[in-house]
Structure formats: C-alpha cells, structure tokens
Amino acid sequence: MKGVTARVGAGLFSAAAALLLSASGVLRPLEWKSYDQRLRSSAADSRSVENTALLLIDQKSLDYMEEEEGIGWPWPRSIYVPVIEYCRAAGAKGVIFDVLFTESSVYGTDDDAQLADAMSAKEDILLAVHVSSGDRKTSYPIDTLRDAAAGVGNVSFEPDDDGIFRTVPLSALTSGETVLTLPFAALSRLADGAVERGDDGTITAAGHAVPLDDNGEMLIHYLGPAGTIPSYSIASAIQSYVRSQYGGEITLPPGRLKDRYIFVGMSAPGLMDLRPTPFSPVYPGTEVHATVFENLLSGDFIRVAPWWVEPLRCVVPALLLALLLGVVRGAWKGALLLPLFAAGLVTTAHVAFRLGWNVPFVSPLVAVSLAFLSVRTVEYATEGRKKRFLKHAFRHYLSPGVIDEIVSDPSRLSLGGERKTLTLFFSDLASFTTLSEKLEPERLTHLLNRYLTEMTGVILGEGGTVDKFEGDAIIAFWNAPADQADHAERGLRTAMLCLEKLKEINPEMKEICGSPLAMRIGMHTGPVVVGNMGSNDRFDYTVLGDAANLASRLEGLGKVFRTPIIVSEATWKAGKGAVDAREIGMVRVVGRKEATRIFQPTVRRGDMPFFRWWRKDDPTFAAALAAYYRGEIAAALEKFSSLGDDPVAGVYRERCEEFSGKPLPDGWDGVWTMGAK
C-alpha cells in the first residue's frame, strides 16, 4: 500500500464506518457489555456506603412470620409499624418503602389506619407508586396511607433492550402530573435535597449536577454486587423492636441504622422484585433504588462523555495505526500493533471510568480493527502480489531467510549496486567437456539437473545466494543481499558439504555417465559491487569486481594443485572457525600482480577428515613448503617425497624435480605464476 495519502484514507474510512455502525445501534449491545465490565472492575474501588441501609422482606422473614407468628403473605399493614418505630428509635433519617400499598389491606381498614397513624407521627416516610410504561397510568397508595406519608416516588422504570437495568429516569409523566422516581423523591422529600431542572435541561440534586444521557436518564453507578449496601432481614427489625420493649436480646443493633435512610423492599424470590443488573441477573430492586439515592447524595456519578469524544477516539487511533503499519516492517510486527492499540483503548476507557466518565470503547475498537484489516487487505492485493512473485522467483536462488529479508525491503532489488565484502564461491565439474561429448543430450541434461539441484540445496541450506549457472559451473556468494556476519564460515562449510554431497550421489552419477564426478571449488573473500546489473527491463542480481575474478581463478587452480577446494588466505582467516586447513602455496593469477596465498580446507571442525591422507598437525608438509619458499629445492623434494600419496605433495615433488640441479630464477620467492586462466 503506497503513500501516506492512501493510509490516511484507510484510517478515515475505518473511523467513519465505525461511527456509522455506532449511530445505527448495531454496536450498542457490545457497548453495554463493555460498560458492565468496567463497572464490575471498578467496584473494588468504590467508596464505603454510609447513607443508606436495606430492610428486606427475604425468604427468612417470610418463613419466620409463617412459622412463628402464623402469618402468611401478604402481611397485615400493622406489621410495618414496629419496623417504622424501631428505625425512628435507632436514629434513622427516614424510611422509604419500595412496597406498593395500592389496595386496602385484606385485614380491614383498621389495619391500614394503624400504619397511617404510625406514618403520620413524623414526616419521614416515603411510599411507592407504580407508573405503567404503556398507558402511563399510575397506581397510587390508598388515600389513607398517601395522606399520611411525606411523599411518593415512582418505582417503575424500563431496562435496556437486553433486559439489564443501567439507567434511571428523573421522573415519569402521568395524567398531566410529574412523579419523581423513588430515589429522587426521597432526596427531595426526606433529605432536603432539592431536585431542580434548569432552563437548559440540566438537573441539579442536593447541590450536584446530575449527568444525563441522550435519553435524559442517569447512569446508575452500582457500588458492587448485591449486598454492597448494608442489608438486614426485616424480621430482625421486628424481633428487635419487640424484644426492646421487654428487655430481650436485640438481633439488629440500632447503631447499624443510625443516621441512615432505610429502604424497605423485597428480595424473596417469590415476591418478584429481583432485577437484572450488570452484577447479577437477580439483584434486589430495592438495592437499585438505594444505589441511585447514594449516587445522588454523594455526587458519585458516571458522566456521559461529550459527543465529540467518540469521533476523536475513533479517528485518532485508526489514523495512527494505518500510518504505523506503513513504518513497521514484518507481518508479525504489524500484527502486534492491533492488540497494542486495543490494550490502549481498554486502558483509557478504564482510566476514564475511574475518573467518573463513560467513554465509548467498542466503536474505537471497531475503527482500529477495520483500519488494520483495510490496510492489510490492500497490501495483500498489491504489495502482497509483488511479494509472492519475489518469493516464487527467488526460491531457487536464495534461502528462505534471505528471501524474507528481500520481501520485507524490495528496494534492495532496485537497479544498481553497492560495494560490499562478500565470500564468493565458484565451482566446476572436472572433465565436463569430455563427458558432455560422449553423453546423449537427454542423459546429460538429467545428470546436470540432478547435480545442480543437490549442490544448490547445500548452498541455500547455508544461507547462500546462487548467482547463476553456466553449464556445469555454479557461482554463489554470501553476505548479500542480507547481511551475514559469518559469511566466510558459511562458505567454507558449504564447500566441504558439497564434496560430501557429491560423494553421496556419485553412485547414481556413475550409473548415468559411467564414471563418478569430480568437482573443483574456488573461494575468495573480498570487496565487490553487488546488485542488479542490466537494463531497466532485464537485469540480474550479480557481482562485479576483482575479488570475483580471483575466486574464479582459484577454482581453475584446483586442476593444477590436484585438490577439489582452494580458498584464499582472506577466506580462510575470516572463516577459520569453521574448518581446518593448510597452506598449499603462493600464486599469481592472470590479471593480478599481487601474489595470493592459498589454502586447502581439509576437514570441518569436529568432523572426521574428508581426505584420507590428511593427518592433523602433521608438520612435514608445512616444513617442505617453507623449504620450497626459501629455494631449498633438495630439502623440499626430500620432505615432499616422504608424504606418500598426498596429491598436493605430489605436485610439488614434480615441481622440485624440474628445478633439481638447475639454478633458480632470479628473485625466487616460491610464487607460482599462472600463464593462463
């Protein structure tokens, strides 16, 4: 994918697509789940609950009244009188009933009157009303109780589309009358916390600005799982009241209710006042109201982020990811960017939540995911096609590791070259011309293909680059196009491995051509120009320079010195950690004035000797060669003759015999000067 403009376009497109999905409501369920997760993870950081407590009509209370008092559900209204009296005596600031008294008591009007009398003694009791969501009809408490109460509040509001209660409205409009939701009504009637609506639609409660979402509802900042707000069985309050009158043991200490607003509600499963919340599918509805009341008193809100936050969180990371994908090289490195960006979005969303802000998470995550996919898709369709072509084109000439480096930076294959030190490899088959003359073309082709395939496999296995094939000749090198600090060692190992591979396949070669094959290898390490040479339409990745010519000449010297491998001193010194070798002479090849010291690799370090005549650390050959360099021909001849079937010693023995009894040329230095290539 070329150009910053294209990547910017991909980032903006991805952000726009995510924002459209968000606006359509498709992402809303996922955003809800994200909100729930943040709410649960922040619960441990919530403040302690100091303003409210719950008295619950739980299963324990139902069982107690049934078994001990013989009273089934529904209870007489007079049962709540000791509850009110005990709360007042304990110093509670008010009692809020999340229980509907919309019909007269089945126990008669006196039962209702007893509760009304208890309530009217002080303006600290709030009752519940039910505003139906469909026809907006309201079920009020019976007049006797409504007139005795300090006020009423609506306990009915709707969950989100997935059935979870996350928000609460300020009020409901019914028959032209506005009814505050229960916690707002409790704040207004019992806690002296005026609830006011400003001209701009803002809501103030107890001196705190109440943040509302787009639907005019407040996000409920749940403080934790069910039971986070101190909860007690209502039976314990009834027992404690009765026992306090007769000096019995109190099961609910008054101090637990002192200075708190007491919400009375139901948690027994059969009473059907359990609501799904982000913490649990069965959460007491009374605790939901008490939680909202706690939020209002303390100003502990989750604020909805301003409208511009979502576009900002979508556009900025999507653009940044798209641009970074053009900088980070390597598929796996680029793939790491997506989880890193996702982690950043998670972190910022959680930090904002702990600071009291609900910021979008899912739409930004969709934006960066789309940015990643769009950039990668376009790259696969354009650059990916080019990379696949490069891999296919070079798989026969470069090792997989080198190909990967070329693919990650195709600019290395642009026309032109660079000066670089390489280890160069030239090989040839001995007597190939004679062999080709006697073989049919088909058999010759089969033999060459088999031989070149095996040798190429060895070269590529050591990370080499195959430059070209010229008949039976192979030209290869190391340290380009990818850098290889151990290029000389790789080359030396390759030379020995090629001889071993040839020995392995020679029985097959003998069946094809009637005799085993012999190869010669020349190697030199030195500076060359390496790169794509040719025209803009047709070029080869190859090398040029004197070092390459020297490597070629050393391969030819194998015939003179009767050895399959000759390497220059530069190669041996650079890679001597890979092989054992011995110096076999000084040569001056055609086209070079300077003499080159040459070596014969004999064994890979740690392996058995390749040449059967090789004796490690045998000083005889070295002493013979030193005598030859000094012009002590007779001494050199004697020492070379003692080495038996050593082929190189045999060459020197013949050479010494030519000079034996004759004066040496002026300026003798022991250098072999080659008169032909």
What is the greatest pairwise CA distance in the chain? 150
Residue 197 C-alpha from the chain's centroid: 48
Which pLDDT tens digit goes with each residue over 4-39? Answer: 888 888 899 999 999 999 999 999 999 999 999 999
Q: Is 24 exposed, middle or buried (0-12, 13-18, 19+ CB in 10 A)?
A: exposed
pLDDT in the model for residue 612: 57
Residues 263, 268, 270: CA angle, nearest 5 degrees: 130
- Binning pLDDT at 50, 70 and 90, where does residue 3 land? low
Which two tokens mark 433? 């011309």
DSSP string across 420-434:
EEEEEEEEEETTHHH
Alpha-carbon separation of residue 307 from 19, 30, 371 (angstroms): 12, 19, 22
pLDDT in the model for residue 403: 61
Is the pLDDT reported for residue 606 higher than 70?
no
Residues 6+ apart with CB under 8 A from 1: 7, 10, 325, 326, 375, 378, 379, 382, 383
CB 525 within 8 A of CB 574: yes
Give the residue-averaged pLDDT of 459-469: 91
Give the residue-averaged pLDDT of 332-336: 73
- Compute the Cα dihedral for 477, 482, 487, 493 and give only its sign: negative
Is the pLDDT reported for residue 644 higher than 60?
yes
pLDDT in the model for residue 245: 85
Q: What string of H, E and C letters represents the secondary structure of 248-297? A: CCCCCCHHHCCCCEEEEEECCHHHCCEECCCCCCCEEHHHHHHHHHHHHH
- Binning pLDDT at 50, 70 and 90, where does residue 458 land? very high
CA-based Rg of the chain, rounded to a whole angstrom?
47
pLDDT in the model for residue 418: 86
Choose between 566 and 577: higher pLDDT: 566
pLDDT in the model for residue 358: 94
Helix 619-630 vs helix 647-659: angle between axes, to the nearest 10 degrees? 30
CB 485 within 8 A of CB 423: no
Closest by CA to 413, choosing from 478, 480, 476, is 480
pLDDT in the model for residue 249: 84
β-partners of residue 417 are 531
Which two tokens mark 248? 């019995």
Which two tokens mark 230? 């101190």
pLDDT in the model for residue 399: 57
Choose between 364 and 45: higher pLDDT: 364
pLDDT in the model for residue 437: 85
- Binning pLDDT at 50, 70 and 90, where does residue 87 land? very high
* Amino acid letter, residue 207: G
pLDDT in the model for residue 539: 61
Residues 515, 516, 519: CA angle, nearest 5 degrees: 130
Is the pLDDT reported for residue 340 higher than 60?
yes
182 three-class SS: helix
pLDDT in the model for residue 235: 94
Alpha-carbon separation of residue 99 from 135, 186, 265, 554, 601 (angstroms): 21, 14, 6, 104, 99
Which two tokens mark 493? 């190992």
Give the residue-averaged pLDDT of 229-245: 93
- Tell me, what DSSP letter sits at residue 476? E
Which pLDDT tens digit goes with each residue over 165-193? Answer: 999 998 887 766 888 999 999 999 998 77
Q: Give first-to-last CA distance, the chain, whole Å.
A: 50
Which pLDDT tens digit goes with each residue over 269-281? Answer: 888 889 999 999 9
β-partners of residue 129 are 154
pLDDT in the model for residue 620: 92
CB 143 within 8 A of CB 176: no
374 three-class SS: helix
CB 521 within 8 A of CB 566: yes
Is the pLDDT reported for residue 384 higher than 70?
no
- Binning pLDDT at 50, 70 and 90, where does residue 389 land? low
pLDDT in the model for residue 174: 72
Is the pLDDT reported for residue 236 higher than 90?
yes
What percent of the chain shows pLDDT beyond 90? 63
Residues 459, 525, 673: CA angle, nearest 5 degrees: 115
pLDDT in the model for residue 433: 84
Residues 6+ apart with CB under 8 A from 72: 65, 66
Give the residue-averaged pLDDT of 443-465: 93
pLDDT in the model for residue 431: 87
551 three-class SS: helix
**Separation between Cα atoms, residue 671 and residue 659, nearest integer Å:** 14
Q: Is 309 exposed, middle or buried (0-12, 13-18, 19+ CB in 10 A)?
A: middle
**Separation between Cα atoms, residue 297 and residue 295, nearest integer Å:** 6
- Binning pLDDT at 50, 70 and 90, where does residue 2 land? low
From 4-8, 71-75, 592-596, the region with the lowest mean pLDDT:
4-8
- Compute the Cα dihedral for 329, 335, 338, 341 and give only its sign: negative
- Binning pLDDT at 50, 70 and 90, where does residue 331 land? low
Instruction: Domains for the chain: give ranges and CATH numbers.
Output: 4-24+305-381 (no CATH), 56-289 (no CATH), 403-617 (3.30.70.1230)
Residues 181, 183, 184: CA angle, nearest 5 degrees: 65
- Binning pLDDT at 50, 70 and 90, where does residue 1 land? very low
pLDDT in the model for residue 393: 54
Which pLDDT tens digit goes with each residue over 201-222? Answer: 678 887 888 998 888 899 999 9
Residues 421, 427, 433: CA angle, nearest 5 degrees: 145
Is the pLDDT reported for residue 118 higher than 50?
yes
From 161-165, 189-193, 383-387, 500-504, the region with the lowest mean pLDDT:
383-387
Give the residue-averaged pLDDT of 397-404: 60
Closest by CA to 425, choosing from 306, 565, 250, is 565
Which pLDDT tens digit goes with each residue over 302-318? Answer: 999 999 999 999 999 99
**Separation between Cα atoms, residue 122 and residue 150, nearest integer Å:** 8
From 20-24, 65-69, 247-251, 423-427, the region with the lowest mean pLDDT:
247-251
* Amino acid letter, residue 618: D
104 three-class SS: coil
pLDDT in the model for residue 565: 95
Give the residue-averaged pLDDT of 507-530: 93
